[in-house]
Amino acid sequence: NSGVPHAVVFIDDVENVQVDEIGRTIRMHQRFMPEGTNVDFVQVLKPGVIRVRTYERGVEKETLACGTGAVASAIISHWLKQCSDPVVTVEMAGGRLYVDFLETGGLYRDVWLKGKVERVYEGIYLGDIQGRD
C-alpha cells in the first residue's frame, strides 16, 4: 500500500483512451468517495513491458508520470499474470520507469521504483518555515 489509492484499468490501446474524461468519471465514482482515486490506464505491450497513462486526483487531469501509479500498475500486471518478470518496464509520457519487487505467495515486498533523474528547478524559499511570510 503506497498510501495513495489507484484504480487500474487494462485496455487494448492506451493511446486512444480519453484519459481526462473517463479518468474523472472513475475518480469520482461513489466506490472511491469521499477522497476519490487516481486512475491508471494500462496496456500490456509485451511480456514485462506496459504503457501507462494516469489521471491524477488533485491535479484533476492526466500527468506525464506518476510513481505510485507506475508501481500499482506493475504489481497488478504481475498479480494478474500479464507480466511474469519481477522487473516491469513502465512506459509513460514523461519517460521510462522500472519497477522491481519480490513476490512470494501473492505478497509483494522490497518494491523499488527506478528511473531517470533530471533537475528541472532550483530555488530558495525566503518565507518563514512556520507558515508566516
Which of 73, 58, 88 has the alpha carbon at shortest distance from 9?
73
Indicate the pTM of the whole model.
Answer: 0.87
Mean pLDDT of 108-121: 92
Residue 43 lies in a domain: yes
Residue 102 lies in a domain: yes
pLDDT for the residue numbered 3: 83
Task: List, for residues 78-107, the tens digit of each pLDDT value.
Answer: 999 888 888 899 999 999 999 999 999 989
Task: List, for residues 37-86, the tens digit of each pLDDT value.
Answer: 999 999 999 989 999 999 999 999 999 999 999 999 999 999 998 888 88
> How far, in Å, CA of 45 to CA of 51, rounded?
7
> How far, in Å, CA of 85 to CA of 49, rounded?
10
Residue 132 lies in a domain: no
Residue 32 lies in a domain: yes
Query: Could you tell me the CATH number of the domain that includes residue 40?
Result: 3.10.310.10
* Beta strands at 107-115 and 87-92: parallel, antiparallel or unpaired: unpaired
- For the record, the C-alpha cell of 85 comes out as 518478470
pLDDT for the residue numbered 133: 52
> How far, in Å, CA of 129 to CA of 50, rounded?
41
The structural domain count of the chain equals: 1
Residue 130 lies in a domain: no
Residue 50 lies in a domain: yes
